[in-house]
């Protein structure tokens, strides 16, 4: 186990707390609110009107239209609106919360918000507006961490920023996710699972606190994602996915590990260039990455075999390599069952023209220190392996 520090003061209200507590929580920070949200879904399902009704009497300015893979131009628009605000209220999924985080961080910054996305030290020096959020999608876990991923399409860039504070208060009501379509439930579940994989596969195999808690969360996601997809108003399924998403990304289960988030680094390039759904990109890349790792470093078989036993309930029978392969196959099967395309061509990526450049950028993000160190060639190989069906 590596030394670590952990401090996470987000105040979580999980369940049916919005009606009773939202106005009080927001009022604690002030009356001038910047309300940030995405497209039409919260207008369609009534959440927008519910929030407006609950905040009657507050001075509310709105920023609508935050897109998936949120763009820096949306953030810039938000910063202009945020300057005289007391508090930012984000209502949406990870994209909305991510954008709101950077808006809150840049509200009193004189330069361009993109500076704070790319320069983590500079971001830490800002006085961030307090952020309250209402989560509408179980996926990124943005509701309990300082991270935000922002894209700049003008330079095909997708960058992970670090804000000075996590959200002050996050409302998580799983009932709000009953209306999430199956495809987004699937992509969100894959995102959760990937966050867990990224932290699980590290070299400190003595960190059983981390590995044990992650295995428990992996079992939770793999059990409940299919239920939520098939029965969207299952409160048990939605609650388990939502709380697993938060815990997967709060920093706690990764404490003491050394992880480089290889699949995320590779997927961010896919999203930046092709604007694909993050979770779908991860679903395609993750089993190929696993296969590449096992094929290139037999010493990883032991951890894959443990993963197979603890997460997929595979028996401890046969040699460790075969058990590792079965674990990867089981991972493939579960992702396949989520129902989205499992090759790049199926999600519209039919050329390889950008692979070399994408691989270079992804590898440069620290993948030389990943679980299996990856150079640009290795990343390119994994992209290419994602074109053809299957992993064998």
Quote the least distance from Cβ 69 to a copy of itself, whole Å: 27
Residue 134 host element (H or E): strand 131-135
Question: Is residue 128 at the binding interface for a copy of itself, with CB under 8 A as the rule?
Answer: no
Q: How many residues form the binding site for a copy of itself (CB under 8 A)?
A: 42
Q: Which of 31, 179, 183, 219 binds a copy of itself (CB under 8 A)?
A: 219
Cβ-based nearer residue to a copy of itself, 13 or 162: 13
Token pair 């808006």: residue? 103
Q: Which helix (H) or strand (E) holds 34?
A: strand 32-37
Which residues from 346-365 bind a copy of itself, rule CB under 8 A?
none
Distances from the Cα of 285 to the Cαs of 228, 288, 341, 368, in angstroms? 23, 5, 11, 18
Q: Does 336 bind a copy of itself (CB under 8 A)?
A: no
Smallest distance, a copy of itself to C-beta of residue 30, A: 20
Q: Which is nearer to a copy of itself, 18 or 51 (CB)?
A: 18
Q: Does 1 bind a copy of itself (CB under 8 A)?
A: yes
Max CA separation in the chain (angstroms) = 67
Any contact of residue 5 with a copy of itself (CB under 8 A)? yes
231 binds a copy of itself (CB under 8 A): no
| CA atoms of 54 and 387, how far apart (whole Å) | 49
Residues 10-39 that bind a copy of itself (CB under 8 A): 10-17
Token pair 């075969």 in the structure block, residue: 322
CA dihedral 159→165→168→170, nearest 10 degrees, is 30
Question: Which of the stretches 7-15, 38-46, 100-108, 294-302 binds a copy of itself when contact is defined by CB under 8 A?
Answer: 7-15
Based on the shown chain and the rule CB under 8 A, indicate whether residue 215 belongs to the binding site for a copy of itself.
Answer: yes
Q: Encoding tokens for residue 26? A: 């927001």
Token pair for 15? 């369940």
Binding segment for a copy of itself among 44-52, 233-241, 264-272, 374-382 (CB under 8 A)? 233-241
Q: Which of 126, 165, 207, 271 binds a copy of itself (CB under 8 A)?
A: 207
Report, in Å, the least distance between residue 231 CB and a copy of itself.
Answer: 13
Q: Stretches 59-67, 103-111, 124-132, 213-221: which one binds a copy of itself (CB under 8 A)?
A: 213-221
CA angle 360, 365, 366 (to 5 degrees): 115
Binding mask 240-259 for a copy of itself (x = CB under 8 A): x--xx--x----x--xx---
- Structural tokens at position 141: 């876990």
Given candidates 59, 236, 297, 298, which one binds a copy of itself under the rule CB under 8 A? 236
Which class for 375: exposed (0-12), middle (13-18), buried (19 or more C-beta within 10 A)?
A: middle
CA atoms 173, 174, 180, 184: torsion sign: positive
Closer residue to a copy of itself in complex, CB, 247/286: 247
Please give the Cα distance from 196 to 254 (Å, whole number): 8
- Token pair 């509310």 is found at 60
Q: How many residues does the chain have?
A: 392
250 three-state secondary structure: coil
Query: Contact at 8 Å (CB) between 164 and 119?
Result: no
Q: Tell me how far, at minimum, the Cβ of 328 lies from a copy of itself, in Å.
A: 21
Rounded to whole angstroms, how far apart are CA atoms 365 and 379? Answer: 12
Q: Which is closer to a copy of itself, CB of 59 or CB of 233?
A: 233
Closer residue to a copy of itself in complex, CB, 52/316 = 316
Q: Does 160 bind a copy of itself (CB under 8 A)?
A: no
Q: Which is nearer to a copy of itself, 147 or 240 (CB)?
A: 240
Which spans of this chain sit near a copy of itself (rule: CB under 8 A)? Answer: 1-17, 206-209, 211-220, 223-224, 236, 239-240, 243-244, 247, 252, 255-256
């Amino acid at each position: 186990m590596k030394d670590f520090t952990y401090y996470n003061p987000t105040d979580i209200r999980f369940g049916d707390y919005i009606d009773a507590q939202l106005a009080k929580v927001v009022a604690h920070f002030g009356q001038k609110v910047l309300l940030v949200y995405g497209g039409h879904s919260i207008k369609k399902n009534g959440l927008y009107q519910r929030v407006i009704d609950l905040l009657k009497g507050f001075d509310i300015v709105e920023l609508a239209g935050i897109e998936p893979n949120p763009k820096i131009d949306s953030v810039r628009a938000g910063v202009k609106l945020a300057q005289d605000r007391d508090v930012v209220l984000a209502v949406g999924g990870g994209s909305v919360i991510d954008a709101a985080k950077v808006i809150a961080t840049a509200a009193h910054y004189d330069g361009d918000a993109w500076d704070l996305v790319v320069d983590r030290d500079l971001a830490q020096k800002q006085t961030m507006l307090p952020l309250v959020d209402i989560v509408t999608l179980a996926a990124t876990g943005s509701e309990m961490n300082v991270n935000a991923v922002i894209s700049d399409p003008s330079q095909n860039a997708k960058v992970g920023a670090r804000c000075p504070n996590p959200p002050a208060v996050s409302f998580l009501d799983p009932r709000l996710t009953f209306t999430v379509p199956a495809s987004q439930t699937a992509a969100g579940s894959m995102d959760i699972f990937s966050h867990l994989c990224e932290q699980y596969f590290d070299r400190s195999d003595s960190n059983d606190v981390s590995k044990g808690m992650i295995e428990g969360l992996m079992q939770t996601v793999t059990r409940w994602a299919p239920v939520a997809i098939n029965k969207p108003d299952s409160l048990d399924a939605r609650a388990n996915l939502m709380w697993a998403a938060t815990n997967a990304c709060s920093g706690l289960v990764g404490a003491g590990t050394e992880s480089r988030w290889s699949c995320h680094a590779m997927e961010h390039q896919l999203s930046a260039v092709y604007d694909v759904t993050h979770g779908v990109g991860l679903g395609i890349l993750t089993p190929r990455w696993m296969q590449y790792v096992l094929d290139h470093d037999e010493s990883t078989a032991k951890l894959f075999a443990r993963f197979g036993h603890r997460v997929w309930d595979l028996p401890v029978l046969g040699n460790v390599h075969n058990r590792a392969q079965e674990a990867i196959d089981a991972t493939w099967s579960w992702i396949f069952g989520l129902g989205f395309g499992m090759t790049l061509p199926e999600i519209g990526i039919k050329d390889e023209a950008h692979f070399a450049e994408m691989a270079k950028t992804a590898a440069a993000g620290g993948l030389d220190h990943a679980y299996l160190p990856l150079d640009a060639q290795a990343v390119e190989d994994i992209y290419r392996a994602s074109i053809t069906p299957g992993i064998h």
